[in-house]
């Protein structure tokens, strides 16, 4: 059995099987519902069910509270329909412009830039190309149907191999392999491009780019893309880490600040040791943004990194700094450990 799904205000329609999530059906039909993690942790795909009923697979209550669910809110990545549905959600223009492909790829380089960060370079098959938007990600297809997601860290205009920034999660199914047994010329398989984290080109508002740790990867792609198209929009990048070594491409960011007229860079470190002689900003990265921009009513924010950073930034920017809620765009890097947290 399948159900008819109607999206308002666009009026787009698609069918959804009874055991399929609304988001999976939308992606299959090329309908641009917003989404990020696809596993019920980040709330990027949240919308309202105006008509019909759904049930939710396992998800994090911080992404959809019981009160929100009772009020008709839904996480479409976890929502399974029990009837025809009418949804209210703002679609993302351009999210389905490029085909989602499954393909093999060869590891060409593994470069360690920090004790727990490796930059992986991937070569696509000679007869294949991957069209994507700066900020999107790919999913590696692993054993037993498991998947792991990583943002593409170079802009589409680079025209070369794909680069990914991979942080070691001790005990992690994939990252343990990357940091121990994986070697150059190994073959992997991935699916992509995925996600709706990319710059909305219909705006000329200044952009606050907020990154924590390897959340810098899609932000790097966005900066390179905006530079390639000679954007006139102002960009300020706040990159946070616990220690100075976590800002593993700090030199590149400082180079951007020297070379790109409308770009500023603010590194922030929360737990620098005395012998590291850190002279820059200290504390939480999203707090630094609030100190510098107390009124965000005329801004867009693009945030990527640990869920706690993304969630804190959205809450505080909207509640305390007048940021319009629909001008906060995010990609929370949810690990398997994050998914096990209540």
280 Cβ contact list (under 8 Å, min separation 6): 267, 268, 269
pLDDT for res 92: 87
pTM for this predicted structure = 0.89
Are residues 325 and 318 in contact, defined by beta-carbon separation less than 8 angstroms? yes
Q: What are phi and psi of 258, to 5 degrees?
A: -75, -30
307 Cβ contact list (under 8 Å, min separation 6): 41, 42, 332, 333, 334, 338
Q: Angle between the 250-259 and 216-228 helix axes, to the nearest 10 degrees?
A: 20
Structural domains of the chain sorted by starting position, each given as residue range(s) with its CATH number in brackets: 2-88 (3.10.20.30), 101-194 (2.40.30.10), 207-340 (3.40.50.80)
Angle at 29 between CA 77 and CA 42, to 5 degrees: 20
Residue 221 three-state SS: helix
Name the H helices within the chain: 22-29, 66-70, 175-180, 216-228, 250-259, 285-292, 307-321, 336-340
d(CA 334, CA 38): 10
CA 105, 106, 108, 114 torsion: positive or negative? positive
Q: How many CA atoms lie within 13 A of 274 on its CB side?
A: 0
156-172: b or e for each residue (b if 16 or more CB lie within 10 Å)? bebeebbbbbbbbbeeb
193 Cβ contact list (under 8 Å, min separation 6): 98, 100, 130, 131, 132, 133, 136, 137, 138, 152
d(CA 110, CA 100): 25
Q: Angle between the 307-321 and 285-292 helix axes, to the nearest 10 degrees?
A: 20
d(CA 110, CA 120): 5
Q: What are phi and psi of 340, to 5 degrees?
A: -85, -10
pLDDT one digit per residue (tens) for the chain, 342 residues = 899 999 999 999 999 998 999 999 999 998 989 888 788 777 788 999 999 999 998 777 777 888 988 899 999 999 999 999 999 998 887 777 888 999 999 999 999 999 999 999 999 999 888 999 999 999 999 988 899 999 999 999 987 799 999 999 999 889 999 999 999 999 999 999 999 999 999 999 999 999 999 999 999 999 999 999 999 999 999 999 999 999 999 999 999 999 999 999 999 999 999 899 999 999 999 999 999 999 999 999 999 998 889 999 999 999 999 999 999 999 987 755 555 554
């Amino acid at each position: 059995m399948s159900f008819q799904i109607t999206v308002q205000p666009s009026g787009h329609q698609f069918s959804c099987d009874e055991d399929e999530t609304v988001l999976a059906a939308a992606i299959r039909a090329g309908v641009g519902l917003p989404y990020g993690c696809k596993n019920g942790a980040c709330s990027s795909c949240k919308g309202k069910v105006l008509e019909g009923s759904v049930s939710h697979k396992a998800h994090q209550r911080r992404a959809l509270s019981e009160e929100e669910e009772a009020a008709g809110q839904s996480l479409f990545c976890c929502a399974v329909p029990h009837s025809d549905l009418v949804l209210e959600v703002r679609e993302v223009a351009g999210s389905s412009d490029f085909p989602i492909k499954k393909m093999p790829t060869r590891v060409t380089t593994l470069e360690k830039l920090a004790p727990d960060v490796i930059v992986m370079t991937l070569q696509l098959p000679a007869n294949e190309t991957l069209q994507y938007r700066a900020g999107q990600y790919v999913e590696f297809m692993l054993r037993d149907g498991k998947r792991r997601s990583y943002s593409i860290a170079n802009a589409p205009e680079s025209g070369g191999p794909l680069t990914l920034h991979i942080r070691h999660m001790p005990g992690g199914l994939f990252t343990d392999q990357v940091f121990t047994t994986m070697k150059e010329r190994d073959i992997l398989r991935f699916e992509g491009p995925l996600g709706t984290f990319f710059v909305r080109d219909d705006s000329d508002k200044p952009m606050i780019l907020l990154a924590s740790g390897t959340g810098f990867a899609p932000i790097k792609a966005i900066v390179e893309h905006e530079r390639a198209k000679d954007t006139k929009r102002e960009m300020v990048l706040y990159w946070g880490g616990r220690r100075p070594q976590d800002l593993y491409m700090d030199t590149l960011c400082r180079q951007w600040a020297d070379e790109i007229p409308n770009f500023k860079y603010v590194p922030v470190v929360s737990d620098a040791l005395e012998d590291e002689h850190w002279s820059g900003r200290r504390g939480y990265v999203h707090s630094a943004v609030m100190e510098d921009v107390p009124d965000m009513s005329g801004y867009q924010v693009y945030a990527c990194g640990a869920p706690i950073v993304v969630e804190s930034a959205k809450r505080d920017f909207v509640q305390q700094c007048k940021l319009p809620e629909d001008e906060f765009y995010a990609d929370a890097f949810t690990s398997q450990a994050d998914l096990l947290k209540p």
